[in-house]
Amino acid sequence: MIEHLPALVIAIPLFGAFITPLFRKRYNLAALWAILISGLTLVLVLLLEYQVLTKGMMIYVFGADKPTLVLPSGYRVPIRIMFQVDGIGAFMAISAGLMSFVGAVYSYSHLQKETGLEKYYTLLLLLTAGILGMVLTGDLFNLFVFLEIASIAGSALVGFRNYRGEASEAGIKYLIVSSVASLMVLFAVGILYGQYGHLNLAYLSKQITFNPLDMIALGLLFTSFAMKCGSVPMHYWVPDAYTEVPSGINPPLLVSTYASLYALFRVSFTLFGKITIDMATVGWIMSILGVLTMFIGVTMALVQKDVKRLMSYHAISQTGYMLLGVGVGLTVFHDKQALIEFGRTAMAGGVFHIINHIIYKSLLLLTAGALFYVTGTRNLNEMGGLARKMPITTISFMVGAAAISGIPPFNGFASKFLIYEAVYKLNPLLAIFAMVTSILTLASFVKVFASAFLGPPLEKYEKVREVPKPMIVAMVILAALCVLFGLFPDFVLDKIVYPAVDALINFIQYQSWGGLA
């Protein structure tokens, strides 16, 4: 049973998703079924992480008849599709499972007034299955198929509220951008297959050389995954998509964006590991992209009036932190001593920031959804004085805002401090940019807090009460995680983050299928 975990982690959400449309019109039952399935997936994913931590990389072959690798004699290539779960794959899988559970719990009451909900929960479960497949797979074409599953499910959910024209506009933009990115990935798959005749990531990484065709494939893959995670030249779809999607889907949609970031790291560190270990150019490109993203994101956020749109611009800028942290690690990949000195710490900061950001950004977006549920508007100029009526929402917002600005003892501080410390040793200018961005982020959130929560209560919000219990439960879970990760960062770093970082650095381990060949 334990060795079948990777397949069960995908099969159970799929199974649940195929059954959900049979609950026509009984929306509460569909919601409970979705919560059950996503809770079960969360438990399985935690077991998977425990397995990877204690026993090393897990290999799972689909459809083979022996529990070892199918390497027929005379050939040194695997024949079937394999799932190759290492530290960073399990790390992303935990965030996916956790966020889909939180999103399902939150949606139980957030969407009381909408119809067609059994399709909503189907799409939520399918989005989760797509993300989990993308982070666990070891085969390049399989990555493409699951990337398409996640993007198509995401765009159907973005346009879900079809009585608002803006939602459809955001949906079509998201769909076109993600389709073009996926087609570029498919083009790169075609080029790599034409040269080497195989599709397995570990096998390809052993064969990659430094010729123009492989450089084109690297460029295409890098560009398309950067497009899909919202870094700067192509960030236009992010605010529209995050604003118009129903708030319960914001956590899984965030994880889907960071799954593309994971794919970017997988391509740079593992697939093209033999190349990037000798040149620093790719690392510099990633770090510069990170700094630009940070800066442009936060400056455009300062002028927004719509609260969810403001938060999505902040999401773009925090993505820059992750790109910067891991980019610094990639830049010093070739220099063994610098890598041990500060590269590893920078990468740990970047990777830790992924899960921190997912937790506090989801918390902030869920509170924005709560504000929308209660007041019916998202415009900051129309809200005011809600602190007395909605105490738990206010506290959750304060926790989230403190975390995103990097104030101790919340979790944002821990990861940002690691990034500042390590990036300063590479190039002090980049660290200064990072700190300035942090200050601007704090300023922006103080403004939001003042407009929405402080001030005298307006009379049109006299009858406003606190939001229903499932929404409160979801927000409290995330706020508690913010506080816990902030108070005990070393525990999280040792158990989850450093194994992930080492899995990325140690690509030789990945190439030999965890020591099996």
Partner 1 sequence: MVKRILAIIFILVIGFWIANALAKVPFGEDKMLVGKYYLENVKEQTGAINAVTAVVVNYRGFDTLGEVTVLFIASTGVAALLWRRREERSAEVDGSLILKTGSRVLLPFIMLFGAYIFIHGHLTPGGGFPGGATIATAFLMIYLAYKEYEIDHNLFEPLEGLSGVSYVAVGLIGLAIGGYFLFDWIWQIWEVGDIGRLLSAGFIPIIYTIIGIKVGTELTGIIDRMIKESKEVEG
Partner 2 sequence: MTSIGVYYFGAISLILIGLYAILTKRNLLKILVGLSIMETGVNLLLISVGYVRNATAPILSDYATPTNVVDPIPQALVLTAIVIGVATTALALSVAINVYERYNTLDIEKIRGLRG
Q: Which residues of the shown chain bind partner 1 in the complex (CB under 8 A)?
A: 4, 7, 11, 14-15, 17-19, 21-22, 24, 61-65, 67, 72, 75, 77, 79-81, 115-116, 119-120, 122-123, 126, 129-130, 133, 141-142, 145-146, 148-149, 152-153, 155-156, 159-160, 162, 168, 171, 191, 194-198, 211-213, 216
Among 13, 171, 320, 327, binds partner 2 (CB under 8 A): 171
Dig out the tokens for 344 from the structure: 């590893």
**Beta-carbon-side half-sphere exposure of residue 214 (alpha carbons within 13 Å):** 18
For the chain, report the end-to-end CA distance as a whole number of angstroms: 24
Whole-Å CA distances, 326 to 25, 92, 160, 260: 47, 15, 35, 14
Phi, psi of 70 (to 5 degrees): -85, 90
**Which of partner 1, partner 2, none is residue 277 near (CB under 5 to 8 Å by kind)?**
none
Of the pair 225, 352, the CB lying nearest partner 2 is at: 225
Number of residues that bind partner 2 (CB under 8 A): 36
User: Which region among 178-186, 286-294, 447-455, 475-483 touches partner 2 (by CB under 8 A)?
Assistant: 178-186
**Which of partner 1, partner 2, none is residue 495 near (CB under 5 to 8 Å by kind)?**
none
Neighbours of 372 (CB within 10 A): 17
Among 12, 61, 175, 282, binds partner 2 (CB under 8 A): 175
> Please, what is the minimum distance in Å from the beta carbon of residue 62 to partner 1?
5
DSSP run (H or E) holding 215: helix 212-228
Could you tell me what percentage of the chain is helix, strand and coil, using 3-state DSSP and rounding each to the nearest 5?
80, 5, 20
**Which of partner 2, partner 1, none is residue 18 near (CB under 5 to 8 Å by kind)?**
partner 1
> Please, what is the minimum distance in Å from the beta carbon of residue 250 to partner 1?
18
**Which of partner 2, partner 1, none is residue 189 near (CB under 5 to 8 Å by kind)?**
partner 2
172 is a site residue for partner 2 (CB under 8 A): yes
382 is a site residue for partner 2 (CB under 8 A): no
Of the pair 213, 487, the CB lying nearest partner 2 is at: 213
Whole-Å CA distances, 381 to 9, 243, 293, 452, 458: 45, 17, 27, 8, 12
Dig out the tokens for 145 from the structure: 């198929």
Maximum CA extent, the chain? 80
Of the pair 24, 336, the CB lying nearest partner 1 is at: 24
> Please, what is the minimum distance in Å from the beta carbon of residue 263 to partner 2?
17
Among 95, 231, 257, 304, binds partner 2 (CB under 8 A): 304
Of the pair 162, 377, the CB lying nearest partner 1 is at: 162
- 220 alpha-carbon distance from chain centroid: 21
Of the pair 176, 340, the CB lying nearest partner 2 is at: 176
> Please, what is the minimum distance in Å from the beta carbon of residue 149 to partner 1?
6
> Please, what is the minimum distance in Å from the beta carbon of residue 82 to partner 1?
10
Query: Can you give 298-318 as a three-state secondary structure string?
Result: HHHHCCCCEHHHHHHHHHHHH
| Residue 54 per-residue DSSP state | H
Query: b/e for 241-261, b at 16 or more Cβ within 10 A?
Result: bbbbbbbbbbbbbbbbbbbbb
Among 72, 165, 376, 456, binds partner 2 (CB under 8 A): 165
Cα–Cα distance measured from residue 164 to residue 149, given in angstroms and rounded to the nearest whole number: 25
Of the pair 147, 422, the CB lying nearest partner 1 is at: 147
CA-wise closest residue to 356 among 158, 83, 95:
95
Of the pair 213, 439, the CB lying nearest partner 1 is at: 213
Of the pair 104, 175, the CB lying nearest partner 2 is at: 175
> Please, what is the minimum distance in Å from the beta carbon of residue 378 to partner 2?
12
Cα–Cα distance measured from residue 334 to residue 60, given in angstroms and rounded to the nearest whole number: 31
Of the pair 32, 300, the CB lying nearest partner 2 is at: 300
Among 100, 109, 128, 155, binds partner 2 (CB under 8 A): 155
Query: Can you give 353-405 as a three-state secondary structure string?
Result: HHHHHHHHHHHHHHHHHHHHHHHCCCEHHHCCCCCCCCHHHHHHHHHHHHHHH
Among 72, 278, 303, 337, binds partner 2 (CB under 8 A): 303
Of the pair 241, 467, the CB lying nearest partner 2 is at: 241
Partnered with residue 387 across adjacent β-strands are none
Q: Site residues for partner 2, window 184-223 (CB under 8 A)?
A: 186-187, 189-190, 193-194, 199
Query: b/e for 137-147, b at 16 or more Cβ within 10 A?
Result: bbbbebbbebb
Cα–Cα distance measured from residue 261 to residue 322, given in angstroms and rounded to the nearest whole number: 9
Residues that bind partner 2 (CB under 8 A): 141, 145, 148, 152, 155-156, 159, 162, 164-166, 168-172, 175-176, 179-180, 183, 186-187, 189-190, 193-194, 199, 239-240, 243-244, 300, 303-304, 309
